[in-house]
Amino acid sequence: MPAQFIEITLPGFSLADTLDCGQAFRWKETGENTFSGIHRGHFLTVSQQGDRIRFDGVTEEEFAGIWAPYFDLDTDYDSMKAVFSADPVLKEACGFCGGIRLLRQDPWEALCSFIISQNNNIPRIKGIIDRLCRQLGEPCGEDFAFPSPERLAACSLEELAPLRAGFRAKYILDAAQKVADGTVDLTKIPALPMVEARESLMQIKGVGVKVAECALLYGFHRLDAFPVDTWIKKALAEYYPDGFPAFAEPRGVAQQFLFHYIRQVRPGANSPQQDTSR
DNA sequence: GCCCAGGGAATCG
DNA sequence: CGATTCCATGGG
């Protein structure tokens, strides 16, 4: 019996860049341009051939309710790229990785993931999150779902030791506790102005400006958020000594293009490490 | 051994 | 107040 699938045409989109540009950490490449992952308790295998994107094993309802929003299919990226292209560096970034879309990730998963990301590198972030899901998440498809804040809040620090998250373990617990008990109400974040949303999230230990901006950009689709990490900091110093161009909006999308571009194409003269994996 | 990683908290002048 | 230092862990 043939498995059910949905196929769409999406010119200018890159599945691989979107799922592996450092915005999400749980997608696994299981074949040629084929990835498997979980969002909100739904398991998906998705693949790309040319302009065709194939979503395996999903119903129309699941596609419309879960995956179309997740992949931000209603947002027009062509007009954004047209704006960015007035800047020479961003124009190059668009040419290199303009197929990225900003995923509408689960707020809690994004928050927790970027707490783990601090002073860390992407391969190790993925490893910690993978162990977190295996140990505490519910089985889902061929993998395990991201554990709820309630499940994590019930854990002790010792129980998290196998994750090998280092000093971040206590931050993860604090986040889980404050989200679970309502000290930080994630359902109220969307209605808050940028600064207040940030301040709310920063009540959590281990959440500073950068992690808060990542949570807002990736978990709440606040495209005006602009996380400045070590890579973006270097890019700003090198390419934009007089400041990042104000017209380059939404800045969060520009930031994501720039981040992936400088990491993959122009590691830079003083690059910490070359990624030879592709 | 040294440096770094999608930083932030604690401590120090 | 700004500027260092420390934090765990793993790869290059």
pLDDT, tens digit (0-9, with 9 covering 90-100), for A237-272 = 999 999 999 999 999 999 999 999 999 986 643 334
Which amino acid type is present at position A246?
A
Lowest-confidence range among A15-24, A123-132, A183-192, A258-267? Answer: A258-267
Give this prediction's pTM.
Answer: 0.95
pLDDT value of residue A277 = 32
pLDDT value of residue A3 = 72
Q: Cβ neighbours of residue A270 under 8 Å, at least 6 residues apart?
A: A234
For residue A138 the two structure tokens come to: 């519910």
Please count the CA atoms within 13 angstroms of the CA of A175 that sit on its side-chain side: 27
The torsion angle over the Cα atoms of residues A78, A254, A198 and A122, rounded to 10 degrees, is 110
Is A210 marked active-site? yes
A256 touches strand B (CB under 7 A): yes
> Which nucleotides in chain C have some atom under 7 angstroms from a protein Cβ?
7-12
pLDDT, tens digit, 9 for 90 and up, residues A114-150:
999 999 999 999 999 999 999 999 999 999 999 999 9
pLDDT value of residue A278 = 29
Contact A219, A190 (CB under 8 A): no
pLDDT-derived band at A197 (thresholds 50, 70, 90) equals: very high
Give strand letter and number of the nucleotide nearest A117 (CA to C1').
B6
pLDDT value of residue A1 = 57
Q: Is the pLDDT of residue A61 over 90?
A: yes
Give the pLDDT mean for A99-127: 98
User: How far is C-alpha A219 from the chain's CA centre?
Assistant: 8
Contact A21, A100 (CB under 8 A): yes
The C1' atom of B6 and the CA atom of A58 lie apart, in whole Å, by 32
Q: Which segments of A181-277 does DSSP mark as H helices, in order?
A: 194-201, 209-214, 230-239, 251-264
A255 touches strand B (CB under 7 A): yes
Q: Is the pLDDT of residue A222 over 60?
A: yes
